[in-house]
Amino acid sequence: MATISSLETDVQNQLEEIPADDVGVFWSVANEIRPALVEAMNEATLITGEPQFRAVSAPFPIPTGTVFTPLALPNDAVALLRVEGAGSVAFQKYSVWDLDRHFPGWEVATGPSPLAWFPFGLGQFGIYPNLTAPATVILSYVQMPVTTAPPWDGTQVVPFQPEYFDGFKDAAQHYLQLKEGDPEFSQSFGPYNRFLASCERMSNFAWRKNSLRFSRAGGASSAITQIRQK
Amino acid sequence: MGQITAGFILQMVSNSLVEWFVNTTLGTTIVAGIQTVAPPSMRGIYQGAMVIVGTGADIEQVTVSSVTASTFTADFLSAHPSTDPVTGATFSSGQPTTPLWTQQEMLSYLVDVQNDFLSAVRPVYKIATQTLSVGVAAYPNPSDAIRVERISVNGTELWDCTQTDIDWQGGYSSRAGQGPFYWYQDKVGPFNFAVDPIPQSGFPARIFYSQLGSTSLGLLSTLTAPDIFWHILKYGVLANAFSKDGEQRDLMRSAYCQQRFDFGCLISAKFLEGLEARFRGPEETVEPMLAMMKGGR
């Protein structure tokens, strides 16, 4: 798999920096170019909803309880997509608003096993009903592109398809040229637009796989999505 | 989550402003207390600068109390080997007399920007408890609330409505001794909510609310906004920095950064809506008047 380091040199070339100089001249490789590549990946994640990860090797423990208490997602998770129990059977997804209408009193309802799950903002979620016996579930979620804290040494894997890579380099170039001011910065809008176009293409591809999350125009409808239907 | 610090955001900001980023080592092995160290480079280090020293459990933020050409003095909480890193975006241009920007100024921008972002996107929620007292209708919002999203009593949701709706229904007196069934935020003063009917006995209520960020940040503070959004906050801070009066003012870049911040808020809100991770907006949660007219529950 490609790593951040494997994209760095191309960014340096686009900036007319000395290629493969792992320190950098006007732009520090460690403190500027790598963070710019991470920024590009973060932006692509928000636009396309990728990468998606099924944490099959790390079953998530659900504790017992008598009143709803939010559960924190794993550190590498951005947003929860799916929760499954034994035999890979997915639990129904609800929103808090839905629960209030379908299961009044859900906050204090108890039962032996999960029936549904619901997001509680981005970093937390809940299980309905509160469990009388502990259980484990498998989570699928939109994952942070880079799961480790900065500073990044370049060995971090780029968890996207290769079709994204040109876009990441274009976006990083644009972000970094903010430092130069005009006219170089204005000229870097071309590469940034190429990045957005690549995100748009990838959104369309993501839609073919599941639902369109976003387009260049600012997003898909927030009406019922296939995610909710599942 | 929780891996991005305010210091990292300031580092990214300082890069775009062509400010020197301190990246050296202590150069002197020290024990805890007021110590003078001789780092290999003093560039960017000035009296009053805040820098981050160390790694892992011993990482700390220290404030430089005095400097010479080759040393600085600070009060350290922990012992450190001479090889421990000293880092930080110190915004040293013009220090000490005519700085272009200061660290406190940048942290202040970050506080404001994070709260702007959290208000626009509402990605983080929290639950507080509040005892509803006999004869008391109105209560203060939790101190770190952007807004109250939902209130429940004994695990059951109170209806989110307006006092006007309740008035149209004949007022609480018609339901005295019952409930509460409803909650509202209009005409009860800022940062308050109220319930209806007025409780005639004590009720434990749970308040679901969207959370505001901290009003004070240090370089090692983690952010309330999830890590995936760090770059959006960076642009918000840069929009402020570029619009500041002075020789570095650049309104074109300020406008660009503001647009990136706004665009970031937009795609973040869409991201939450697409995943249904957010509580619904008021236009969706305020119950239709027709339902209210049916007499509540």
The first and second tokens of residue B40, run together, are 């290999």
User: For position B277, what pLDDT does the model report?
Assistant: 79
Which pLDDT does position A199 carry in this prediction? 87
Q: What are the residue ranges spanned by the domains of chain A?
A: 4-48+149-222, 52-143
Given a cut of 80, whether residue A167 has pLDDT beyond it is yes
The per-residue pLDDT for A130 is 97
Q: How many CA atoms lie within 13 A of B201 on its CB side?
A: 4
Structural contact between residues B119 and B146, judged by C-beta atoms closer than 8 angstroms:
yes
- What's the pLDDT score for residue A208? 61
Name A16's Cβ contacts closer than 8 Å, sequence gap at least 6. Answer: none
Interaxial angle between packed helices B103-121 and B6-16, expressed in degrees from 0 to 180 and rounded to the nearest 10? 110
User: What is the mean pLDDT of the segment spanning B91-109?
Assistant: 95
**Would you state the pLDDT for residue A207?**
62
Q: Which residues neighbour B245 within 8 Å (Cβ) at sequence distance 6 or greater?
A: none
| B246 band by pLDDT with thresholds 50, 70 and 90 | confident
Q: How many CB pairs under 8 A join A and B?
A: 149
pLDDT digit string, tens, across residues B114-138: 999 999 999 999 999 999 999 999 9
What's residue A210's pLDDT? 60
| Chain segment A169-192, per-residue pLDDT in tens | 999 999 999 999 888 888 889 999
Q: Are B65 and B74 within 8 A, CB to CB?
A: yes
Q: How much is the ipTM here?
A: 0.89
- Contact predicate B47/B66, CB 8 Å: yes
Please classify residue B194 by burial: count the beta carbons closer than 10 Å to its beta carbon, then call 0-12 exposed, 13-18 middle and 19+ buried. Answer: buried
Structure confidence at residue A230 (pLDDT): 41
In whole angstroms, what is the distance from residue A33 CA to residue A37 CA? 6
Q: Do B127 and A214 touch (CB under 8 A)?
A: no
| pLDDT band, very low/low/confident/very high, at B53 (cuts 50, 70, 90) | very high
List the domains of chain B with CATH numbers: 20-93 (2.40.30.20), 125-212+282-293 (no CATH)
The pLDDT of residue B100 is above 90: yes
Q: For the residues of A124-158, what is the DSSP string, one character each?
A: EEEEESEESS-EEEEEEEEEPSS-SPSSP-S--B-
Cβ-based contacts of B229 with chain A (< 8 Å)? 42, 46
Could you tell me if B56 lies within 8 Å of chain A, comparing CB atoms?
Answer: no
Least confident of A51-65, A210-224, B77-91, B192-206: A210-224
Nearest to B15 by CA among B173, B237, B267: B237
What backbone torsions phi and psi does residue B277 show, to the nearest 5 degrees?
A: -90, -5
pLDDT of residue B283: 46
pLDDT digit string, tens, across residues A95-154? 898 899 899 999 999 999 999 999 999 999 999 999 999 999 999 999 999 999 999 999
Residue whose C-alpha is closest to residue B5's, from A149, A39, A124: A149
Q: Taking the CB of residue B148, how many other CB atoms lie within 10 A of it?
A: 21
- Tell me the Cα Rg of chain A: 21
Token reading at A211: 């639902």
Which residue is closest to A34 within chain B, CA to CA?
B12
The answer, for B80 touching chain A at a CB cutoff of 8 Å, is: no
Q: Is the pLDDT of residue B177 over 70?
A: no
Q: With bands split at pLDDT 50, 70 and 90, how would you rate the model's confidence at B282?
A: very low
Band of pLDDT at residue B174, cut at 50, 70 and 90: low
Interface test with B, best of A92, A178, A195 (most B CBs within 10 A): A178
Phi, psi dihedrals of residue B69, rounded to the nearest 5°: -65, -25
Of A227, A230, A229, the C-alpha closest to A89 is A230
Q: Which residue of B has its CA nearest to A185?
A: B253
Chain B, 7 to 26: residues with Cβ < 8 Å from chain A are: 8, 11-12, 15-18, 21, 23
How far apart are alpha carbons B244 and B254 in whole angstroms? 9
Question: Is B46 an interface residue toward A (CB < 8 Å)?
Answer: no
Is the per-residue pLDDT at B66 higher than 80? yes
When pLDDT is averaged across residues A156-180 and rounded to a whole number, the result is: 94
Q: What is the pLDDT of residues A5-39, one digit of tens each?
A: 999 999 999 898 877 666 777 899 999 999 999 99
Is the pLDDT reported for residue B288 higher than 70? no
Please write the tens of the pLDDT for every residue from B199-245. 888 889 999 999 999 999 999 999 999 999 999 999 999 999 999 98
**pLDDT at residue A217 above 50?**
no
